[in-house]
Structure 1
Amino acid sequence: MVPKLTYFNSKGLSETIRLMFKYGDIEFEDVRIERVDWPKLKLDAPFGEMPFYEEDGKRVNQSGAISRYVAKKVKLAGKDDWEDLEIDSIVDTLTDIRTKIIKALLEPNEEVKSKLIKVLIEETFPFYLERLNKQAVGGYFINGKLTWADFHGLIILEAVELVTKKKLNPDYPNLAKVIEHVTNIPQIKKWIEVRPITVTFKMSPKLTYFNAKGLAELVRLLCKYGDVEFEDVRFEREQWPELKATTPFGQVPLWEENGKVVSQSVAIARYIAKKVKLVGANDWENLEIDAIVDTITDLRLKSSPIFYEQDETKKAALLKTFLEETLPFYLDRFEKMAGSGHLVGNKLTWADFYLVTVNDALTRVSGKAVDSKYVNLYKVIENVTSIPQIKKWIETRPITPF
């Protein structure tokens, strides 16, 4: 029977072992389990942990020990005890980095998590990477030759790049060369191309916007409603000129997930709405929601000139037209549509959430928006703001002028 390696359906602690099997052309059974199945399987696992390795009817755990054993099979161990010691020293140091990354990324408190990641990027990584870069002369950790330390290094260094969102070059050219040497091995290159796509380290999505409600508040409300964990990154206006050049289209909010970044607040909100089940039951209902959302956006945009007008006389004239003509025109029609206390389909949708955020913005700009005259719209707002998660967020969110 071929050897069997059992682990979660991810790279994690098993990928170094898989890479070495592929390098040495050793056939093995790559058993992957889903996390929902782990509690049941855990009872049968050695010491209740994975990965575990089975060969000739015997089973062992501990990824480092398994890696060391497989490295000997595929001629990636040291030439003597001292070289093995050097390899172990580098591997354990790389594992220290991984442990610190895991601690930060699994921290449930978002504020604490942000601080831990900041320490990783500004202190921990530079400390380790500078020293490892000096060690990896020529792109190999041990004596200028390929060892399993380089394979383990690939996994950890890729995780560092994921957290920092930066390639190791040009700051750490030797470490970049380690990655290049391993990934260019034909067997490894082929494995990387065909292996299952998994997320090594799951990082919370990131929402970036000014320290204000503005265009980001709808996304925040939807995330809070659906208990979607996200990093609420806020910056001050004086920081914007510098940050603007780094954005896709020179605008915020930005939504970042799995290394990909998009802008456009309504598009982001629609995406989150799907996650939290606040979209329509069919294409027609989604069309109705989009039509309402886009119409609310029209209303919001018509209020913008009031906010930005510097001439007080012109500003007063704009406000008068808005309050006496524009606002009633829209609200009267929305009121007729919201007879059930919802804007679309007699049920809660993300269009209702958008009305809440835009109503808040209109109130700040004009001093007036939805009031008790609009019974149905008032009910829409009440239906959203009384949801426990939303109520709690409104009570605890940062206090900002906009």
Structure 2
Amino acid sequence: MPSLKLTYFDLRGRAEPIRLAFLLSDIEYEDDRFSFPQWKEVKPKTPYGSVPTLTVDGEQMAQSGAILRYVGKLAALYPSDAIAALKVDEVMETLVDLNNSTYSYRGSDTEQLKAARKKLVDEDIPRYVGALEKRLETFGGASHAVGNELTVADLVITCTVNSVQCGILDYVPVDVLDQYPRINAIHKAVMDNPKVVEWYKKYPIKKQTPKMD
């Protein structure tokens, strides 16, 4: 196994599915976390001025999706079958699109943020998550996204649900995803894993009440 160091902020964000893949496979790695004030020192040292990065035997690699797929392969959480891998990728890319919609407005104007989040709740979540829910009915089992075994797609779904339920997204109801039973079954299966339970005892998900008006 190569020497591995994952570098990201000291928060969940885009690194969390990768951390969970490491956790569930017992692969040793360095969980290199830094604070926001340290970002100005870290940023110039990254390939694209972004994180996460994964340093593999001294070579720094970038892009969260690429890193997750690589770690998924090391962890046997990414299918070797081409069609199954395609389905895993479809699930993950759909949630990338949803994430892009979630953060489509990054300015400080409250009314513009409200409008963007209203579109997210009224249009984008039904479009992406509603369609994904139906796709999962043919892709996987009762509690897995693709097939009957855990894949990185399950981890991305889980982290997406956590981000909504924890209340960090202002003007987005924390229960907006409750209407999607298959999504929630996958989330529950991952969160009930004993390793994941212990992980979130160590790194608890802080709950807050989002602004709604």
TM class by smaller structure: 0.7 to 0.9
Q: Which amino acid aligns with 1:221?
A: L
Q: What's 2:122 paired with?
A: 324
- Structure 1: distance between partners of 2:47 and 2:179: 42
Q: 1:204 to 1:397 in 2, by over 3 A?
A: farther
Q: What's 1:88 paired with?
A: none
- Structure 2: distance between partners of 1:371 and 1:212: 22
Deviation at 1:211, TM superposition (A): 1.2
Structure having the higher Rg: 1
* TM-score, with length taken from structure 1: 0.47
Q: What's 2:33 paired with?
A: 234
CA deviation map 1:123-179 (0-9, x unaligned)? xxxxxxxxxxxxxxxxxxxxxxxxxxxxxxxxxxxxxxxxxxxxxxxxxxxxxxxxx
- Structure 1: distance between partners of 2:206 and 2:33: 11
Deviation at 1:400, TM superposition (A): 6.6
Q: Describe how 1:207-246 pairs up with structure 2 within 5 A.
A: 207-246=6-45
Deviation at 1:203, TM superposition (A): 7.9
Q: Greater relative contact order: 1 or 2 (C-alpha under 8 angstroms, separation 6 or more)?
A: 2
Percent of aligned positions with the same letter in both sequences?
31
Please give the secondary structure, in 2, of the residue aligned with 1:338. Answer: helix
Q: Describe how 1:2-401 pairs up with structure 2 within 5 A.
A: 204-306=3-105, 308-339=106-137, 340-363=142-165, 364-365=168-169, 366-368=172-174, 371-397=177-203
Aligned residues: 200
Q: Which amino acid aligns with 1:316?
A: K
More helix by share: 1
Q: Which amino acid aligns with 1:295?
A: T
- Structure 1: distance between partners of 2:98 and 2:193: 25
Q: 1:348 to 1:374 in 2, by over 3 A?
A: same
8 Å CA contact retained: 1:211, 1:400: no
CA RMSD, Structure 1 to Structure 2 (Å): 2.2
CA deviation map 1:14-56 (0-9, x unaligned)? xxxxxxxxxxxxxxxxxxxxxxxxxxxxxxxxxxxxxxxxxxx
- Structure 1: distance between partners of 2:2 and 2:159: 27
- Structure 2: distance between partners of 1:359 and 1:390: 15
CA deviation map 1:59-88 (0-9, x unaligned)? xxxxxxxxxxxxxxxxxxxxxxxxxxxxxx
8 Å CA contact retained: 2:121, 2:176: no
Q: 1:395 to 1:303 in 2, by over 3 A?
A: same
Deviation at 1:217, TM superposition (A): 0.5
Please give the secondary structure, in 2, of the residue aligned with 1:305. Answer: coil
8 Å CA contact retained: 2:5, 2:32: yes
8 Å CA contact retained: 2:94, 2:132: no
Gaps of 5+ in 1: 1-201
CA deviation map 1:190-220 (0-9, x unaligned)? xxxxxxxxxxxx9852111111111111110
- Structure 2: distance between partners of 1:359 and 1:232: 23
- Structure 2: distance between partners of 1:220 and 1:319: 28
Deviation at 1:230, TM superposition (A): 1.3
8 Å CA contact retained: 1:331, 1:370: no
